[in-house]
């Protein structure tokens, strides 16, 4: 999986986890996402949450953090 060219390592484990990319988004694995927020780029197993607040696909990261100074 990648976010605008960043390689994010993942496993096939069912273990729940939340990690973050330095100066980037949260990577959430195996934690259900409320259907209200289930946007493009989200799956049942993994999704990437915006930390910069600038995503146009709010809650889900769209890579805008690359442009935020």
Domain ranges for the chain: 1-69
**Looking at the predicted structure, is the pLDDT value of residue 68 above 70?**
yes
Which pLDDT value is given to residue 1? 45
- The strand pairing partners of 20, in sequence order, are 26
**Looking at the predicted structure, is the pLDDT value of residue 69 above 70?**
no
Q: What gap in Å lies between CA 29 and CA 1, rounded to an integer?
A: 12
**Contact in structure between 48 and 25 (CB atoms under 8 Å):** yes
Higher pLDDT, 29 or 69: 29
Q: What gap in Å lies between CA 68 and CA 22, rounded to an integer?
A: 13
Q: Is the full-model pTM beyond 0.85? A: no
Give 6's pLDDT tier (boundaries 50, 70, 90). low
Higher pLDDT, 19 or 37: 19
Tokens of 68: 């935020």
16 CB-side CA count, 13 A: 3
**Contact in structure between 40 and 26 (CB atoms under 8 Å):** no
**Looking at the predicted structure, is the pLDDT value of residue 49 above 80?**
yes
């Amino acid at each position: 999986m990648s976010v605008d060219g960043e390689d994010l390592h993942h496993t096939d484990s069912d273990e729940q986890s939340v990690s973050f990319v330095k100066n980037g988004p949260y990577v959430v694995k195996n934690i259900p996402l409320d259907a209200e927020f289930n946007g493009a780029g989200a799956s049942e197993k993994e999704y990437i949450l915006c930390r910069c607040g600038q995503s146009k696909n709010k809650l889900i990261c769209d890579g805008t953090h690359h442009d935020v100074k």
